[in-house]
Amino acid sequence: MTPVVLIAEELAPSAIDVLAYDFDVRHVDGTDRPALLQAVAEADALIVRSATRVDAEVIAAGAALKVIARAGVGLDNVEVPAATARGVMVVNAPTSNIVSAAEQAIALLLSVARHTASASASLKGGQWKRSRYTGVELQGKTVGVVGLGRIGVLFAQRMASFGTRLIAYDPYIQPARAAQLGVRLVGLEELLRESDFISVHLPRTPETFGLIGEKELALVKPGVRIVNAARGGLVDEQALAIALREGRVAGAGLDVFVTEPTTESPLFGFENVVVTPHLGASTVEAQDKAGLSVARSVKLALQGEFVPDAVNVQAGGVVDEDVRPLLSLAEKLGRVFTAVAGGVAASVTVEVRGEIVSHDVGVLRLAATKGLFASVVDERVTYVNAPQLAADRGVEVELLVSDEPAEHQNLVTVRGALPDGRTVSVAGTLTLTATREISKLTGVDDFDLDLTADGVLLFFRYSDRPGVIGAIGTLLGESGVNIAAMQVARREAGGEALMTLTVDSSVDAELLSAVAAAIGSSRGSVVDLRAL
């Protein structure tokens, strides 16, 4: 069936276009709780903005949910732990509004410096009072930037063009990086004492909430102007109102408040305060970018691809294009490992060798872990819950990389120790044809193979002797199972051998056992790779 994408709030038409061809796109009013709970029951993906509350109840109602996407930066309205526990990926659009947010901070700062909003209101009210609204220039002034994250950097870069001196407080940035930006790093108290303008660009955390309060505002340079377009509560609104009333602060611009939405604040009564209703991301461009970003992420998630913007995946970030094709290979190797091992390993190492290790290959450990548990648990295994499934079972999955030359240009090996003391390993690589890259199985334990890792694979270990191939072919043929490919690997004639077959249809446990018994194999294994 075509996957269902449920859109709970307004989304840019360009974003809907990304989804409409491949998915069944449906709409619901996310603020209508009963309607949302009913509609999400059939959804594979849910897209919201800020008005829809996606809590544990909604996530539980969405039994088929694979991904929840918020078309914006924050995730305050999405209960991420509940989604993670259910293996549901959560994505957002972390860079969609950074330009808009930086520009909003600059707009507020300029408006405060030149009394733009109050002068406009006065003139519209029939008054022409030029002298009352004399402002100050930015050139030559010291601008303090609290937080040099992505938005803080954009703000600083733009403020530099006004001929300002830039200082910043951010304990998590290196001085060399700040110097590259033309910014001098200082402590918070020094920033408060030196700045003519202060702009806050921090996330709201227990450590940053109330960062600029009564104590800090007692240190500011007289006549300072303060802007907060980041998160409400970073600047204490009551303390700021007192500082404005006492004249220590000459003006303020706020786009965010400790409680939102709000129509009341002690700051609203000051003519030298400019306020806006959280408009940092409210530009046509930001909304388009947010919608397009999450639409692409949803499409990747529903197609089984790795999603760089997934916030609850341990190996987040951009996956290099050279690494991306190895994700499917690593997951297939994880599945083959569990099938051959016949159970869960006590510990597993994902080894990556070759030229590919010049890139970040950490995501391959995650992909292999996903494959390891695909046939072990009843629940759906995803990039989200795979690490937790491993932790719950006490399985430590490590990554080992080496740039030493291998038999193949790049080689991925999943190697593990089982509780009974056995060691199992499976290895694979990618081969390039004229049209595509093919996952190849190159080895199981110390048996060399050259088999396409696709379809339904059967594995049998037995003592090498005549007639085994015929016996297997007869039994499978009588059951209507067609053999597409077969390989036999052995160490020596008459010794232990490994037969690997690719067949065109599923093989049940009863048939697998019958074949194993007929050839004297201690155990037969089957793994279905058709869905990958």
The residues assigned a catalytic role are 231, 260, 278
Cα three-residue angle 381-384-387, rounded to 5 degrees:
80
For 350, residues 6+ apart whose C-beta sits below 8 A from its C-beta are 330, 364, 365, 368, 397, 398, 399, 400, 412, 413, 414
What is d(CA 128, CA 486) in angstroms, rounded to the nearest whole number? 91
The terminus-to-terminus CA distance of the chain in angstroms comes to: 17
DSSP assignments along 206-236, one per residue? TTTTTSB-HHHHTSSPTTEEEEE-S-TTSB-
Of the candidates 203, 198, 438, the one whose C-alpha atom is nearest the C-alpha of residue 325 is 438
Helices and strands (H and E) in the chain: how many:
17, 22
Whole-angstrom CA distances from 407 to 29, 160, 429, 476 are 57, 54, 10, 34
Distance CA 29, CA 406 (A): 56
Contacts of 349 (CB under 8 A, 6+ apart): 397, 398, 399, 400, 414, 415, 416
Q: What's the CA gap between 210 and 233, in Å, rounded?
A: 6
Give the whole-angstrom CA distance, residue 314 versus residue 298. Answer: 18
Residue 203 preceded by cis peptide, ω within 30: no
